[in-house]
Amino acid sequence: MARYLITGIAGFIGSTLAHALVEQGHEVRGIDNLSTGNLENLADIRTRISFQEMDLQDVAGMKSACEGIDYILHQGALASVPRSVKDPVSSHESNINGTLNLLVAARDARVRRIVYAASSSAYGDQPTQPKQEDMLPRPLSPYAVQKLTCEYYIQAFYRSYGLEGVCLRYFNIFGPRQAADSPYSGVIAQFTYKMMAGETPTIFGDGLTSRDFNYVDNAVSANLLACTAPSAVATGRVFNIGTGKSHTLNEVYATIAEHLGFTAKPIYGPPREGDIQHSLADISRATSELGYSPKAHFHDGLKKTVAWY
């Protein structure tokens, strides 16, 4: 049994991690400022975790949150490319200042390792597919810059202070509990929610935009592997957490529509600012070095997700 701190525990990925760790008998502490997270995501495990409403930028709070912790799974962030384009300052404060404050607290508390929710957005408009970790990043949006900056901070804290850190570059994670009711929600959640309400979703661009959509269970297993992998393999390193397969927005729309019996054709709108056209992961580093294997497949994951909403 180990002691975990999950930041952003009331959010989509944070709460899914919490369920998995509680299930395995670990001690789970979680913080969330509830700006986008929702305590309903934790309702069935609320008595089995220790939760505090807290902002990542709270210096004293983060100090006490890190006390006695073995592993930090750092999911807390103001996610979304378009949100960061609209308001780069608030997302910078949460994503960069908050992470830096957490790192200082983790270093001082001698936390064993921090696993960071990095983002595939770091690759930006690099034309080469699939994306490999050693490619030069070309972030296009403030969000991508913020997520990449924190990868560098994680690595610098390892080299400067010996705080072990692993960066998991998530590729479009989806699944149950993903917020669906905001324009900043992930596309699968938004399409499902809208179709269920009888509204026709808008596809930004020509529908041929593609993403390596990865079901949340695969992200959970990647986090657990990143905690236990030998330091020489994992520490200070970046791993793509995708599936190695991509799907277009047209395909996503059609599949969700089929599950829900929704018959209207999509509305097409202009491409979204800060968006990249194609995103596909090369997962060979994570598979060979962490033992990561994305067992949950896109279509099964989509079926479970649609059924959940």
Which residues lie near ligand UD2 (CB under 6 A)? Answer: 79-81, 119-121, 170-172, 186-187, 190, 201-204, 209, 211, 249, 272, 275-276, 279
For the chain, first and last CA: distance in Å?
A: 33
Neighbours of 269 (CB within 10 A): 10
- Name residue 55's amino acid: D
Q: CA-CA distance, 91 to 133, in Å (whole number)? A: 24
Give the separation between CA 170 and CA 149, rounded to whole angstroms: 15
Decide if 38 contacts 62 (C-beta within 8 A): no
What is the torsion angle, in degrees rounded to the nearest 10, for the CA atoms of residue 2, residue 79, residue 54 and residue 107? 50
- For residue 116, the cross-strand partners are 74, 167
Strand partners, 72: 5, 114
Cβ pair 256, 188 in contact under 8 A: yes
Other C-beta atoms lying within 10 Å of the C-beta of residue 263: 8
Examine the residue annotation and report whether 143 is marked as an active-site residue of this protein. yes
Residues whose CB falls within 8 Å of the CB of residue 186, separated by 6 or more in sequence, listed in order: 172, 173, 174, 178
Active-site residue numbers?
143
